[in-house]
Amino acid sequence: MTRPILLLMTIASGLSAAGMYFAQPLLAVLRDALHMSATAAGLTVTAGQVGYAIGLALLVPLGDRVSRRGLAAALLAATSLSLLVAGCAPSGAVLLIATGLAAATAVGAQVLVPFAAELSAPDHRARNISVVMSGVLLGGLLGRAASGALADTLGWRTVYWFTAAALAIMAVLVVRMLPRTEPSDLPQPSLPHYLRSTALLLRDLPALRRPVAVAAATMAGYSVQLSALTMLLSEAPYHWGPGRIGMFGLVGVIGLASMTFAARIVDRGHIRTVLIAGVALELVAWTVMIPAGSGQLSWLVVGMVLINLGQTAMLNAAQSASYELRPDARGRINAVFMTLFFAAGAIGSAVTPTVWAHGHWPGVCFLGATTAGVALLLATLRSRQAATATPTTSAKRPAR
C-alpha cells in the first residue's frame, strides 16, 4: 500500500459514492426538466437506495471470489456508463432506470474498502481503511452540495457527465496502478455458494453480530439527524433556504478529519475503547442539540460536530473488528455489514417525519438519543463479555 494507491482508492470511492446523492437536491429541477410528477421525481432517490442495496447483496461478495482490482474497475466503469445515460436521459423513466443501475454498481467503493484492508500491513490497516472510508463519506457530503452548485451554473446534466468522465478515468487508473490479487489458489466455490455463505455469516460468525448491531443502531440515529436537519432549519425560527441548509450540512466534514486519529488508536489495539467512545459522543451530541429547537444555532453546530466525530470513530472501529474475524471473507463481511448499516439508516429516515409530526425537535432528539443509548449498551456489553470470557478461554486452552 503506497500513498498514490491509497489516494487513488480514496478518490475513486468518493466519486463512486457521490453519484448516488446527485438527485436529492435536484428533485424540483428534474421534475420540471423531464416533465415528471413530484412522486416520480422522488422515486429517483428510492431507486438509488434500492439499487445500492441490491449491489451490496449481490456484487460486493464477489470480491472474495474474483480479483478485487478487476471487480472494482468493472464497477467503476459501469457506474460511469450509467451516469452518462442518466445525464442524457430524455425522460423520467430512463433517469429512474439509470439511477438505479448507477447506485447498484456504486458499490465499487465497498469493494475498495476491504481491498485496502487486504493490501495494508496490520499496524496500518485501520488507518488505511479510515482514509478510503472518508472518501466514501466525503463523496456523499460533497455530492449533494456539488450537484446543486453545478446545476445552477452549467445545468443539471453537467453534474452527471462530469462524474461519468471522472469515473471512467478512475477505472483505467485502478487497472494500471492497483496490484492484481487473487483470493486463493484453491478451486473457487460456485456463485450461489458465495451468496449463500454471505447470508449465513451472522450465524457462522457470532462475533460479527455486535459490531454490526452497534453500527446499525448508530446509523439509524445518524440518518434521523440528517433527515430532521432540513425540517428544523426550514421552519421557524430559522427559515433557511435549500442552498444554505445544504452548505450547513458540510459541518460533517469535521468528523471526517478526525477519522485517521481514531484509526491510529484502533491500530494500537484499542478497538473497543474507540467503539465505546464514539457511541458515547453520539449520545452526548443528541443531548447537546436539544436547545437548537428554540433557535440556539451554536448548540446545533456543537452537536453536529460531536455526532460526526462519534460516527466516524465508531464506524472505523466496528469495520476493523469485523474484517479481522475472517480475512478470506472480507468482501462478504463488508456486504453484510453495509447492507444492515444502510438498511438501518433507511429505517431511521423513514420514521423521522412521523416523530417530527408528533414530537418536533425534542422528539427527534429523544429518538436519536435512544438509538445511541442502545448502541452504547451493546458496545459496553461486548467489552464486559470479552473481559469475562478471556480468562476462561485461556484456562481451558490445551497445551501445545
**83, 19 Cβ separation under 8 angstroms:** yes
Residues 151 and 16 in one domain: yes
**279, 218 Cβ separation under 8 angstroms:** yes
Residues 222 and 348 in one domain: yes
- CA 255, CA 259: separation in Å to the nearest integer? 7
Residues 326 and 362 in one domain: yes
Residues 238 and 169 in one domain: no
Residues 94 and 143 in one domain: yes
Longest dimension (CA), the chain: 74
Task: List, in order, residues 6 or more apart from 181 with CB less than 8 Å away.
Answer: 67, 68, 69, 115, 118, 119
Phi then psi dihedrals of residue 106, to 5 deg: -65, -10
Residues 157 and 215 in one domain: no
Q: How many CB atoms lie within 10 A of CB 203?
A: 9
Residues 199 and 265 in one domain: yes
- CA 109, CA 60: separation in Å to the nearest integer? 9
Q: Is 286 domain-assigned? A: yes
Helices and strands in the chain, H and E counts: 17, 0
Break the chain down into helix, strand, coil percent, rounded to 5: 85, 0, 15
Mean pLDDT, contiguous 10-residue spans, the chain (400 residues): 88 87 73 80 76 85 83 94 92 90 90 86 84 82 75 83 93 91 58 74 90 93 84 85 70 73 85 92 95 92 91 89 85 87 84 88 95 94 46 37
Q: Is 400 domain-assigned? A: no
Q: What is the total residue count of the chain? A: 400
Domain-ending residue, one of 159, 179, 199: 179
Q: Is 284 domain-assigned? A: yes
Domain-ending residue, one of 125, 147, 179: 179
Q: Is 122 domain-assigned? A: yes
Domain-ending residue, one of 179, 211, 236: 179
Predicted model pTM: 0.76
Residues 139 and 288 in one domain: no
Q: Is 237 domain-assigned? A: yes
Q: In total, how many domains does the chain have?
A: 2
Residues 159 and 280 in one domain: no
Domain of 165 in residue numbering reads as 1-179
pLDDT for position 24: 67
Q: Is 13 domain-assigned? A: yes
Residues 50 and 196 in one domain: no
- CA 82, CA 102: separation in Å to the nearest integer? 5
pLDDT for position 400: 34
Residues 137 and 249 in one domain: no
Residues 74 and 172 in one domain: yes
Region of residue 35 (phi > 0: left; psi between -120 and 50: alpha; otherwise: beta): left
pLDDT for position 398: 37
The grid coordinates listed for 374 are 442502545
- CA 111, CA 124: separation in Å to the nearest integer? 19
* SS3 state at 400: coil
Q: At what angle do helices 125-154 and 156-177 cross, to 10 degrees?
A: 150
CATH code for the domain in which residue 273 is found: 1.20.1250.20
Q: Is 394 domain-assigned? A: no
Comparing CA positions, the residue from 78, 71, 69 lying closest to residue 16 is 78
Counting Cα atoms < 13 Å in the Cβ hemisphere of 301 gives 6
- CA 202, CA 336: separation in Å to the nearest integer? 8
Q: Is 395 domain-assigned? A: no
Comparing CA positions, the residue from 329, 348, 41 lying closest to residue 217 is 348
